[in-house]
C-alpha cells in the first residue's frame, strides 16, 4: 500500500510538472535565445560580461532545462569540495553530465564556479555554444600545438579561481563499467598545483541518448530522474605531485569505479 501511494504521488508530481510546461517552455526558449546572443557577444566584447553574470545566466538556464526534463540532482558529500579552484575528475555516462554538474556546483554554497574541458567537435552544438559563456576549454586531440595552448588556458582559468572539470574517459561510456582514465587529463593539476576532486555521477546513463545508440551499446537507460553527484575525498597536490600521473589516474579511476558500483546497488 505504501509503495502504491508513493507511486501515485510521483505520478501526480510529474503530471503537475508536465502541466507547468505550458508556461515554462516559452520562458526557456527566451532564456536560450538570450544566452546564445550573450555567448556570441561575449567573444567580441568580453569586458561587458563579468563572470558572476555569465555563470549565473548559464546556471539559471540549466536549472530550468533540468526542471523541464524532470531531473532531480542529489548531492552527496558536498563538504569534500575545497572552497578554492580545483580539478574535478568525473565519470561520463551522458550528454546530460555537464548540466548535472553545473547544477550541483551552482546549488552548493561556497564552492567555486565550474567550467569544463571538451573536445573541439562539440563547440558548434547549441549546448556548448552556451558553454562558451563559462569559458569552456575546447581541445583538438589531433593538434598537439593547440593542445599545448589549451593547457595554458586551463591554468589561467584555475588561477582566476574557477574549478575545471575533465572527463578523463575522453567520451561517454555506455556501460555499467567506468572506462580507462587517460593520465593527460590530470596534467593541469600538476602544473597549477591544485587539488584533484574525484566525482562520481550515478543515474545519468542514457539520458539525452538515442535508442539506436543504446541498443548498439546493449545497455538500458537509467530509470528514474534522480541523479546523484558524489564528491569523493579530494587529493591535495602535495600528495600526488611527485607521483607518476598514470598511477594517480588509476587510483582516481579505482575510487570512482568503487563508488559507482556501490551507489548503483543502493
Whether 50 and 39 have beta carbons less than 8 Å apart is answered as no
Whether 137 and 153 have beta carbons less than 8 Å apart is answered as yes
Residue 128 pairs in a beta bridge with none
Whether the pLDDT of residue 143 is over 90: the answer is no
Q: Is residue 128 part of a domain?
A: yes
pLDDT score for 12: 75
Number of structural domains found in the chain:
1
Q: What are the tens digits of pLDDT across the range 34-84? A: 999 999 999 999 999 999 999 999 999 999 999 888 899 999 999 999 889
Whether the pLDDT of residue 136 is over 80: the answer is yes
Q: Is residue 47 part of a domain?
A: no
Residues 134, 115: Cα–Cα separation, whole Å: 6
Q: Is residue 164 part of a domain?
A: yes
Q: Is residue 37 part of a domain?
A: no
Residue 115 CA: distances (Å) to CA of 18, 49, 89:
30, 16, 12
Mean pLDDT of 14-40: 85
In three-state secondary structure terms, 148 is helix
pLDDT score for 51: 92
Share above pLDDT 70 across residues of the chain, in percent, rounded to a whole number: 97
Residue 146 CA: distances (Å) to CA of 139, 142, 160, 184:
7, 9, 21, 14
Neighbours of 254 (CB within 10 A): 13
- CATH number, domain of 165, equals 3.40.1130.10
pLDDT score for 59: 96
pLDDT score for 265: 80
pLDDT score for 18: 73
pLDDT score for 252: 98
Q: Is residue 244 part of a domain?
A: yes
pLDDT band, residue 3 (cuts 50/70/90)? low
Q: Is residue 152 part of a domain?
A: yes
Residue 89 pairs in a beta bridge with 166, 198
Q: Is residue 44 part of a domain?
A: no
Residues 59, 53: Cα–Cα separation, whole Å: 10
Residue written as grid cell 602535495: 238
pLDDT score for 30: 94
pLDDT score for 66: 94
Neighbours of 116 (CB within 10 A): 23
Residue 232 lies in domain: 69-265
20 or 164: which carries more pLDDT confidence?
A: 164
Q: Is residue 41 part of a domain?
A: no
- Please, where are the H alpha helices in 83-143? 97-106, 126-131
Highest average pLDDT, of 13-17, 139-143, 191-195, comes from 191-195
Amino acid at each position: 500500500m505504501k509503495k502504491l501511494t508513493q507511486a501515485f504521488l510521483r505520478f501526480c508530481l510529474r503530471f503537475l510538472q508536465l502541466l507547468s510546461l505550458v508556461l515554462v517552455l516559452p520562458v526557456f526558449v527566451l532564456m536560450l535565445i538570450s544566452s546564445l546572443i550573450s555567448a556570441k557577444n561575449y567573444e567580441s566584447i568580453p569586458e561587458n560580461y563579468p563572470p558572476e553574470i555569465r555563470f549565473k545566466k548559464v546556471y539559471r538556464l540549466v536549472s530550468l532545462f533540468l526542471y523541464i526534463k524532470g531531473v532531480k540532482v542529489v548531492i552527496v558529500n558536498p563538504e569534500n569540495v575545497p572552497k578554492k579552484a580545483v580539478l574535478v575528475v568525473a565519470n561520463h555516462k551522458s550528454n546530460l553530465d555537464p548540466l548535472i554538474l553545473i547544477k550541483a556546483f551552482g546549488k552548493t554554497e561556497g564552492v567555486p564556479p565550474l567550467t569544463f574541458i571538451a573536445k573541439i567537435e562539440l563547440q558548434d552544438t547549441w549546448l556548448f555554444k552556451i558553454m562558451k559563456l563559462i569559458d569552456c576549454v575546447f581541445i583538438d586531440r589531433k593538434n598537439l600545438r593547440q593542445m599545448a595552448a589549451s593547457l595554458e588556458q586551463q591554468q589561467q582559468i584555475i588561477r582566476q579561481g574557477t574549478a575545471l572539470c575533465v572527463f578523463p574517459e575522453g567520451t561517454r561510456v555506455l556501460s555499467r563499467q567506468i572506462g580507462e582514465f587517460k593520465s593527460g587529463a590530470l596534467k593541469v593539476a600538476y602544473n597549477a598545483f591544485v587539488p584533484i576532486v574525484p566525482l562520481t555521477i550515478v543515474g545519468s546513463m542514457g539520458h539525452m541518448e538515442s535508442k539506436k545508440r543504446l541498443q548498439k551499446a546493449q545497455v538500458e537507460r537509467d530509470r528514474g530522474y534522480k541523479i546523484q553527484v558524489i564528491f569523493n575525498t579530494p587529493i591535495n597536490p602535495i600528495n600526488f605531485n611527485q607521483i607518476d600521473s598514470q598511477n594517480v589516474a588509476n587510483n582516481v579511476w579505482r575510487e570512482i569505479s568503487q563508488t559507482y558500483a556501490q551507489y548503483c546497488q543502493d
